[in-house]
Amino acid sequence: MKTLLFAGITAALTMSTPALAQELNQAVRGDMRDLMALYRDLHQHPELSMQETRSAGLLAAEARRLGFDVTTGVGGTGVVAVLRNGPGPTVLLRADMDALPVEEQTGLPFASRARGTSLAGVESGIMHACGHDTHMAAWVGVARRLAAMRSQWSGTLVMIGQPGEEVGLGAKAMLEDGLFTRFPKPSHVIAFHDSAMLPAGVIGYTVGPTLANVDSVDILVRGVGGHGASPHTTRDPIVLASRIVTSLQTLVSRELDPLDSAVVTVGSFHGGTKHNIISDEARLQLTVRSYTPEIRRQLLDGIARIARGEAIAAGVPEDRMPIITTEPNYTPATVNTETLTRSTAARFREHFGADRVREVRPIMAGEDFSQYHLADPSIESLIFWVGGVPQDRWQAANGDATRLPSLHSPFWAPDAEPTIATATEAMVVAALGVFGRH
């Protein structure tokens, strides 16, 4: 294999020849037995957000074995593995580690039976319903390949196992614990996410806004309670809250430019305790999604205006106006920088073939991977998708993802082997492409 290594470093680093692409593919195939064993282990032993001690230990041990300088406990349970390999850019590769409070229903022979208690104090089953087990397995595969290929690149590689993505806390916690000051600061940050909207082994990417701003908003709707038989003596908060829910729908449909994307969803509505009692209060919980700071501000201001306006229309006293609380730790939109995204997509097409690489639309899900670029906008950033839907299920659904289990579903079971293999190759190609450009 060493005869394939070029003295001309640029040609080698871009993996531009069929021989080099085949070499990488064969090396990843050789790792798959170990990576699949690791995947099944991680799947059977999921850990909730900010509690990923076992998962972090597995990643750290593998990175140490490969010669990385490893630090654990960053931002709680985060792992930072650094491999210095001469002059050049610093590339950060991320895998998120946390699972979800979901009772698994996949029927897999290695299905999770784990249970735990979330940060919110809720006890439940635990499952890798978002596929972060595939992310960690691929992380190990990438670390193995890049460590073995040190003669083909120059620069500094930083690989992190990030906690708490599902609760939007992990990236910020690692940054606050010195990710960019205690360790080499990256010029480029790259990650992937498995996808329930693409067939297994297909890569998807988006240029620009890719995932949304995510705000959580609570509205305490206050009224005047009383007997259900005498509603005229009350100011019914359930009726008022219902009006607020209905009026909130006009924020997107009537106040935003139709070409701007946004979501206002009321996910929870609680009020009252008994059939014949009109309560004092009702509570609404909202998720609010957008792509730009301007639209985000317009939505949040509109929610406050509508809630107050409906309360005034219902005759609620001034001292009983709704109380609106927006969680301060919102997840900012994830934006793929154009230069890195387009150059990497071109390398993907060259490596995998055009039929396995697709430009896809942005989605309204959230991702705290955005925090790394937000911490320093000069950092180039890319997160891409790797399809996980088994080919037979994709074909049976005629490519209609709405007929298939989504991420966060108790039935989500990616076709792990092609997902992990494709992700491992893609992350290596992406990293080498950056090192090669410099």
Q: Would you please indicate which residues are annotated as catalytic (active-site) residues? A: 98, 165
Burial 133-150 (b: 16+ CB within 10 A, else e): bbbbbbbbbbbbbbbebe
Distance linking the first and last C-alpha atoms of the chain: 24
Neighbour-count burial of 31, counting CB atoms closer than 10 A to its CB (0-12 exposed, 13-18 middle, 19+ buried):
buried
The phi-psi region of residue 73 (left if phi > 0; otherwise alpha if psi is between -120 and 50; otherwise beta) is: left
With CA atoms as reference, report the closest residue to 241 among 205, 268, 215, 213.
Answer: 268
Residues 6+ apart with CB under 8 A from 415: 200, 388, 389, 390, 391
Residue 284 neighbours by CB distance under 10 Å: 24
Beta pairing partners, 287: 216, 265
The phi-psi region of residue 173 (left if phi > 0; otherwise alpha if psi is between -120 and 50; otherwise beta) is: alpha
Cα 410 from Cα 280, distance rounded (Å): 37
**What dihedral do alpha carbons 211, 163, 377, 296 form, nearest 10°?**
40
- Contact predicate 126/224, CB 8 Å: no
